[in-house]
Structure 1
């Protein structure tokens, strides 16, 4: 499932203890807005965060998918999160599970929260070397909706930098594994807030690599991410030309603007055109 698979390819996260920012995050243009009760909340404030986070889901007219980044379900705080969420009157559409290292993590969240009338979209935050070693097994979890790259925790564990080249391997590995499993992958945020050009460059690379979208840590980043991930007029025109050429050639190998195209090009172009036109 691609949450809010329109123009909103940014995922924005906001701390649960700053409810005054909830509406700003939800109205940022992001496709997914998450309230966080994990890394942005001190241990002593976790219970207050669980209670305050309920306000995030009280809005019935939100223009995006509303979700929560819980604590790891293998921790006491994660267990308390699950108990709290099960009792929420308005519940999250999407659960982001941090420190995911096995399919059982996803299954545990589903087994606690799923009811006849409620089956949230469950995504895995892949952010540890062990998780990358176990990717094929993790991605077999039947209730898994997609994966998100957690660059900060990964870099801290490996003790490497956050530069694009430094983190090339985990990004390639995640996109490849997610594509093989037929689920989308969301790239990690750019944490520098005052470098829109750097954000744009990294978003372009993430799109080229095959990521479906990218995280945002500030509302103003969402517009840049959405613009990059939405096909340009030129990309859409090229895709339409390839689709037309495929129909004319009976899906046989042909050329478009001096480039040889065949079956995989036709499939990619049709998918892009269908998404842009809002058709299944």
Structure 2
């Protein structure tokens, strides 16, 4: 199996016990579509959700979209049952989101349960507790971890604070720093107000500026705004190419590009943007 880059961009999460929403989630244009077996599914519906999620993986992902699943915590009975169930899905999830991760052990449990020579999905850790934040550096460096996703709702509930930008800034900043140090992408939490598109855009732009490589959402109506924020524009790509070309021509010396002086940090940023763009194109071709 060809190993693709860890996916970033816009993620959508749909409840596993609501199969009527599956088609929309798969085809709405999200970079990653996850079926959820955890928080959005009532305990009484867990078994039905596992069975219904089977249909989410009956065919390969649509072009440009990576299919995944959020299991329950692997340290619980429900999580173990989720892992057993997904082993029988016709098309295996390429992303497994592991909730309530608080140590590298949680990643190791899932990797050991599902990993094989021909199936190595991207494992993402959902960081949503104060204990997880305390152990972030070691979690981010877990051997099989591909990325992290921030969960503001559970984290705010545990802290006893609001979910706004300012109360969550410390946690977001620590998450970004640990992820960057480990060389993995970080995906921001969903924005839960479905009717305030202006606030959604503000939070998405702040998250991008902070260093998040994408943002998750819980409704397709949020996708156009998030896509506009997180996918590089043609102008951004063209500027990045100009910066890289100018730097190469200058032999690595500081050089003027337009109205700006460009040095090594700006060149690295431009190369990173072009690398992400190439990875996105590769995923579309291989989907």
Instruction: Tell me the equivalent position of 2:187.
Output: 186
Instruction: Tell me the equivalent position of 2:112.
Output: 111
Instruction: Tell me the equivalent position of 2:47.
Output: 47
CA contact (8 A) 1:3 1:32 kept: no
Post-superposition CA distance 1:85-129 (Å, at most 9, x none): 223333211110000001110110010111232122111000001
Instruction: Tell me the equivalent position of 1:80.
Output: 81
Instruction: Tell me the equivalent position of 2:15.
Output: 15
- Per the alignment, do residues 116 and 233 of structure 1 end up closer, same or farther by CA in structure 2, a change over 3 Å counting? closer
Using the TM superposition, name which of 95-104 and 80-89 deviates more: 80-89
CA contact (8 A) 2:6 2:147 kept: no
CA RMSD of aligned residues (A): 1.7
> Aligned equivalents of 1:263 and 1:150: distance in 2?
34
> Aligned equivalents of 2:145 and 2:10: distance in 1?
19
Q: How far off is 1:4 after superposition?
A: 5.0
Instruction: Tell me the equivalent position of 2:99.
Output: 98
> Aligned equivalents of 2:45 and 2:94: distance in 1?
24
Instruction: Tell me the equivalent position of 2:29.
Output: 29
CA contact (8 A) 2:17 2:46 kept: no
> Aligned equivalents of 1:237 and 1:90: distance in 2?
37
SS of 2:35's partner is strand
SS of 1:190's partner is coil
Count residues with an aligned counterpart.
277
Post-superposition CA distance 1:138-168 (Å, at most 9, x none): 1121111100000110001101111111100
Post-superposition CA distance 1:176-218 (Å, at most 9, x none): 1001000000001110101111111111111111111000110
Q: How far off is 1:236 after superposition?
A: 3.0
Structure 2 residues without counterparts, runs of 5 or longer: 283-287
SS of 1:115's partner is coil
- Per the alignment, do residues 124 and 275 of structure 1 end up closer, same or farther by CA in structure 2, a change over 3 Å counting? closer
Using the TM superposition, name which of 207-216 and 234-243 deviates more: 234-243
Q: How far off is 1:38 after superposition?
A: 0.5
TM-score, length of structure 1 as denominator length: 0.93
> Aligned equivalents of 1:111 and 1:15: distance in 2?
26
Instruction: Tell me the equivalent position of 1:200.
Output: 201
CA contact (8 A) 1:189 1:214 kept: yes
> Aligned equivalents of 1:276 and 1:28: distance in 2?
20
Post-superposition CA distance 1:249-277 (Å, at most 9, x none): 11111222333221111121122234446
> Aligned equivalents of 1:87 and 1:233: distance in 2?
41
TM-score, length of structure 2 as denominator length: 0.91
Q: 1:202-241 to 2 correspondence within 5 Å?
A: 202-241=203-242
Q: How far off is 1:239 after superposition?
A: 2.1
Structure 1 residues without counterparts, runs of 5 or longer: none
SS of 1:71's partner is coil
> Aligned equivalents of 2:113 and 2:197: distance in 1?
40
Q: How far off is 1:3 after superposition?
A: 4.4
Q: 1:134-173 to 2 correspondence within 5 Å?
A: 134-173=135-174
